[in-house]
Amino acid sequence: MITQIFDDFSFIFQRFGWTDFLDIILVTAIFYLLLLLVRDTEALVLLRGVFFIIILLTLITSLVDLPGFSWLISTVLPALLFAIPVIFAPEIRRALERVGRAGNVSFLTRTQDITERQRKETMSAIVKACARLSERHHGALIVLQRLQGLNEYAETGVPMDAKVTAEILLQIFYPNTPLHDGAIIIVEDKVVAASCVMPLSASGVLNRSPERTMGLRHRAALGISEVSDAIAVVVSEETGSISIAHRGKMIHRLNLERFENTLNAFFQPTEFNGGRSLLAKLTALFTPKQPEEKGKGES
């Protein structure tokens, strides 16, 4: 018996080539990406139900000889495949949006116009404003653009093009003012628009949260973080707590020190936005350095 098993494995490995290995890797990658797309969403529950039904029907038709039932399943099951795009329409749309927006990022030509001093002043103004808003229990939603553009969402609001200061942020989110409802979008050190409409998250992240005060602001913050690489800051109107959303995840109940450190960590200068374009950096990297001239006093 054991010898037969070893012979079978040997036969399989002898016929196993690099194309078979590539085939397995591609199939695994596709299933992995699909599971990532439906993770923390209501579609995951539906997917579990579909898998359970398929496994159950397969066991029934293979263990018991039921000609009529087997014919019904083999006839109806292919038709159910047309229902998949309808059931998983939000997840498919979200995936296509991510792919489409990824093409808008120009890694080779993007430069960083904001200086380090301006960046620190902007972050300080946001932290100061959020601290005051938190104390007063004034709700706020601040979206900070990173690499992916947010022009389509800025167009839904009121154009401002104002320098980021704590006073402006406090005035915008003062209750019952014309611009307090909605989100503001910050690009570099400017408030480009206020009272903007953000996409609401359809994931189950907030449903599983122990917090019971997660409203539309938190869903909007999570939603914009799911479709872009933006950082969304939320100040809760009910509790005054500060949260940060990024890439479909949310960090709740941040104190001021942790909030400031987290915000600064997201906007540290990197190789992609450190004053020169990546193309210029690569050119400098592969350009041979000239030998340093020796001092007059050296031999």
- pLDDT, tens only, 30-59: 878 777 766 655 566 666 777 777 788 778
Helix-strand-coil split of the chain, %, nearest 5: 50, 15, 35
Does 93 share its domain with 205? no
State which residues form the domain around 156.
Answer: 116-270
- Find the CATH number of the domain harbouring 167: 3.40.1700.10
**Residue partners of 62: CB distance under 8 A and separation at least 6:** none
Closest CA relative to residue 245, chosen from 24, 291, 254, 270: 254
Does 139 share its domain with 191? yes
Does 160 share its domain with 233? yes
Give the up-direction half-sphere exposure of residue 153: CA atoms within 13 A in the CB hemisphere: 28
Q: What is the pLDDT of residue 35?
A: 73
Among 37-41, 66-70, 205-209, the range of highest mean pLDDT:
66-70
Q: Alpha-carbon distance 134 to 198, whole Å?
A: 21
- Which tops the pLDDT comparison, 278 or 235? 235
Does 89 share its domain with 123? no
Does 212 share its domain with 254? yes
Residue 14 reports pLDDT greater than 80: no
Q: The tokens of 91 are what?
A: 């997840």
Q: Mean pLDDT over all residues of the chain?
A: 76
Instruction: Say if pTM beats, i.e. exceeds, 0.75.
Output: no
- pLDDT band at residue 281 under the 50/70/90 scheme: very low
Quick check: is 295 in a domain? no
- Which tops the pLDDT comparison, 97 or 153? 153
Q: What is the pLDDT of residue 40?
A: 55
Tell me the average pLDDT across 88-93: 64
Does 86 share its domain with 120? no
